[in-house]
Structure 1
Amino acid sequence: MLTPPDRHAEREVNLDWYLPDGDLPRPAVILVHGGPMPPGMSPTPRDWPVYRGYGSLLASLGPVAVTAEHRLQMVVGPDGPFADYPTAAQDVAGAVERVRVDPRVDPERIALWFFSGGGLLSTDWLRERPEWLRAVALTYPLLAPLPEWGIDPRFAPAAAIGEAGRPVPPLLLTRVGLERRLLSEPVAVFLKAAGGNGVPVDVLDVPNGQHGFDMLDHTDESRQAVEKAAAWITERLRGQR
């Protein structure tokens, strides 16, 4: 959908790095894709045009952009199928640690951007709120466990923002008008919990967008929404905490 100048991605195990022009180190945005994915899926998310586009766009705006692949798969266990969120959460935490120690990155200026089913993986970060986490973005996110997926109830973003601790980092939620109720209702619960706990959330509405609009809807509305979200997260990395 977006056509920023394509940048070569440096591949390192489960990370793809998109580096900006100019001097380093820079702040970094870590892109966390959705799921669960079927085992053996090919191509994997970091090779999808949408994430290559996000990486190239963000790097053109100044930050280092990193797509982090994780093992969020649907696994068949003795009690039926379950989505392996604990493993995926470990993968994301490991990716964040590796990004922060890289000399090309300012370790005190990190943003996390979660998409779709990856939205539940924001829970630990919304709960822990490290000082270096300058922003969290959520795009058409899943924000409540689905019972049929057997998801560990620990993954509950709305509960996490209500816990005491450091201030919650700036939040951006991209909400689509044509979302399925299964996902739109938890988004409403999340926003209500944020409001009830005095946590501000910037909401970017895409009235005619569907789930996955940035892949499926080749419209001006979609392009503008992606550009606005990328500009928002880049600005939060520049600002003071």
Structure 2
Amino acid sequence: MANGKEHITIDPDQPVIYFGRFAFSTGKGTYINRIFRVHFRNIPFSLVPFHLAAGNNVGLLVIVTLNTEQVPLLVTTVNTCGCYAAVIPTVSLPPGAYPKNWDKKQQSIYGEVLPGSLPAYTVDDALLVTVRPEVHRVMDVRVVKRSMLSDKKYKPADMMPLQSLKTLPLASGMTTSLYYDTWPLRGHVKGSIKLWESLLLSLVSLDFYVGMDKEYGDTVVSGNPFYTSLLPWNRHASDMNNFAGFLRFWGWRL
């Protein structure tokens, strides 16, 4: 608390990965999403290079989709504003589940080039996600042996359940949520307003708070669709909180 007002910041010296597990179903079966969420202190304001998404308390989601045999089928990465969503299949995904004309070599996500496919991986492997400094965008995803991660350049992070983001400790001994819980900011991350995005993209998206980071999980609970398309008529069809609908919107036929 500062001057009687709540102020949330991210401590980069104490990294935490927040995790969750959710099931979803399609006409072809039932699947499990393992969700991993991290937050960063900020994307700094910069004109050269221009940081469109400059702001505080920004975050990133990595979602691994498994079948009922616990085999990874998809890896989805997205910033917690709903921006830069990328779905990467593993070779275990059935051929009929790909979007039409899918390039298995690579995909371009607003300037970042990511794999078009990942090899199969097991408990002996790890998913290595590389994030671009300052802007915190995913710049590479690959499967590596776990032994590789013992290198000193990797710092272990604490693991905490996603729900703990709603009970962050305050110096007073009380707790608070990372998310606003009242209109008009309900379901958005506190302190994460993006000035440039509000100025430049609010008209095309019909959302003044476009670019703000969001709660991920259930639109009914958060009151805030986790949309992944700027076009307002796609707001609900592209809502990643409805993961089956999100995949269908982007052409996946899981």
Larger Cα-atom Rg: 2
Q: TM-score, normalised by structure 2?
A: 0.29
Higher normalized strand content (fraction of residues)? 2
- Normalising by structure 1, we get a TM-score of 0.30
